Chains A and B, each alone.
Chain A
Amino acid sequence: MSAAPEAAAPAARTAGPPLWLLLELTYRCPLHCVFCYNPTEFARAGPELATADWLRVLDEARALGAVQLGLSGGEPLVREDLEEIVAHAHGLGFYINLITSGIGMTEARIAALKSAGLDHIQLSFQDSTREMNDFLSSTRTFELKSKVAGLIRDHGYPMVLNVVLHRHNIDHVGEILAMAERMGAQYVELANTQYYGWAWLNRDELLPSRAQLERAEAVTQEFRARVGTGMKVYFVVPDYFETRPKPCMSGLGSVFLAVAPDGTAMPCHAARMLPGLELPNVRESPVRSIWYDSQAFNRFRGQAWMKEPCRSCPEREKDFGGCRCQAYLLTGDADNADPVCSLSPHHHLVTEAVARAEAAAGVQRTPGEQVLTFRDHRTSIPVRIRTPRATE
């Protein structure tokens, strides 16, 4: 890394390449998911990058060694230049994964994406609170998803389905898996909601109870036993129910680089919320200096930023203190241990949230009662951090 200036932090000089590039091509999306991880203030973001900007980002990141490329959003199919971006990335040698709701996918587009060199498609069920009803009753949405699933299979892609779970759909895991089987899915990821962005806003309405979680895992186990190797099912437990944090992004600034629709470069796709992080923009800085020299990408490299109990913890090499965004959202300080960790002095904030979910899960609501905030331009607001509440 000879280009790194003398002033760069020591960690910057030892940083490896940004192997993993995520381009959030747009915040535009036809859906309104209550668990979307996009920032709640997305409507305030500046204009989207032009095609030429995205192509330049691909050139620069690839030159640094980036090789895995995720294309997401919003809904990436909204971008009419998606095929051009894929073709360029393929020419550079990226392995390209499209993360889509399938809305906007047609025979013509998938054929064009395939010939442009798209490697993989992950079809998600997005707006589950509304859509899941359609889905479970085999109506409109199921037909759309089935059609897209068929297109994916016909074009020689493995059929990979991602379903985000939360309190309002987790009891239907059996039906979801049966439907996925009918759809010919080869891989199903049952991903419990992670609490950032819109999901954070709606957290207390989305967290399942422990009993729900255990039932869902048992149903998944039974399904696995019945279907065998024909379909692979991944069940991702929500980290609020764990006692050790996830090794988020293998540590910020380690392998992952995300670029938001307006060109903001981030060491994690939720990092926009972190205070004191001077996020660079690809419109103004080359990817090399963003990755190696910027404050934002060096801020959490290494271990010097850690506080106790992480600083002296033998597990810090394994989990890097967990998720900085979760530490900030729950404790108000991004340098704290992720409170998912039972060694964190703030762990009670997580267990209390789970306890509230237990209590709330039993409450019957009147039909039509609006308790969730759907992702929308109208409801777009700055992020709120949660200050510990003494009483509920």
Chain B
Amino acid sequence: MTTDLDPGVRPVIGTGLRLQYEPAQSAHVLLYPEGMVKLNGTAGAILERCDGARTVTEIVHDLERTYGASGLMKDVSAFLAYALEKHWVELRA
């Protein structure tokens, strides 16, 4: 599952999927045909930044700034590898 992700790639939400915040569930959800994934706070914060413009490195820096944390690369990268496997995100060069 944790295939190493090139920190220079730019992840974007997968085709046909939609990420949005649902107040009724107090969570980000990922919507796809006939289904929905309710995301925890961390997953929501990462996927929210997958706009196809930012690289993984930039996403990590942004998260570290926002949450006053450091050393997030390993966890973020592992989650994105999982998300990639699930087709939640696609990669742009």
Contact = CB atoms under 8 A, between A and B. Distances in A.
B25 A68 contact: no
B8 to A, nearest CB: 25
A95 B31 CA distance: 7
A250 interface: no
Nearest to A93: B20
Interface string A120-155: 101000000000000000000000000000000000
B32 to A, nearest CB: 8
Contacts of B34: 68, 70, 97
Nearest to A157: B16
A70 B24 CA distance: 19
A93 B32 CA distance: 13
B22 interface: yes
A95 B20 CA distance: 10
Nearest to B15: A158
Nearest to B29: A67
B36 interface: yes
Contacts of B31: 67-68, 95, 119
A67 B29 CA distance: 10
B20 A68 contact: no
B33 interface: yes
Interface string B64-75: 000000000000
A65 interface: yes
A17 B50 CA distance: 28
Contact of A120 (B16, B23, B29, B36): B16
Contacts of A116: none
Nearest to B23: A65
Contacts of B92: none
Contacts of A67: 20, 22, 24, 29, 31, 36
B18 A95 contact: yes
A65 B16 contact: no
B86 to A, nearest CB: 14
Contacts of B22: 65, 67
Interface in B35-51: 35-36
Interface residues of A, number: 16
A19 interface: yes
A170 interface: no
A119 B14 CA distance: 13
B33 A97 contact: yes
Contacts of A120: 16, 33
Contacts of B24: 17, 64-65, 67
A235 B32 CA distance: 19
A302 B81 CA distance: 38
A160 interface: yes
A48 to B, nearest CB: 25
A95 B34 CA distance: 9
A128 to B, nearest CB: 21
Nearest to B34: A97
A142 B19 CA distance: 35
Interface string B5-16: 000000000011
Nearest to B24: A65
A65 B35 CA distance: 15
Contacts of A119: 16, 18, 31, 33
A238 B15 CA distance: 31
A19 B36 contact: yes
Interface string A40-83: 00000000000000000000000011011010000000000000
B15 A68 contact: no
Contacts of A122: 33
User: Interface centre among A17, A95, A97, by most B CB within 10 Å?
Assistant: A95
Contacts of A64: 24
Contacts of A93: 20
Nearest to A158: B16
Interface in A151-175: 157-158, 160
10 contacts: A64-B24, A65-B22, A65-B25, A67-B36, A68-B34, A68-B36, A70-B34, A93-B20, A95-B32, A157-B16
Interface of B: 15-16, 18, 20, 22-25, 29, 31-36
Given A95-B32, A122-B33, 14 more contacts: A17-B24, A65-B23, A65-B24, A68-B31, A68-B34, A68-B36, A70-B34, A95-B18, A95-B36, A97-B34, A120-B33, A157-B16, A158-B33, A160-B33
Give the 7 A-B residue pairs with the shortest CB-CB distance, closest first: A65-B24, A95-B31, A120-B33, A17-B24, A158-B16, A97-B33, A95-B18
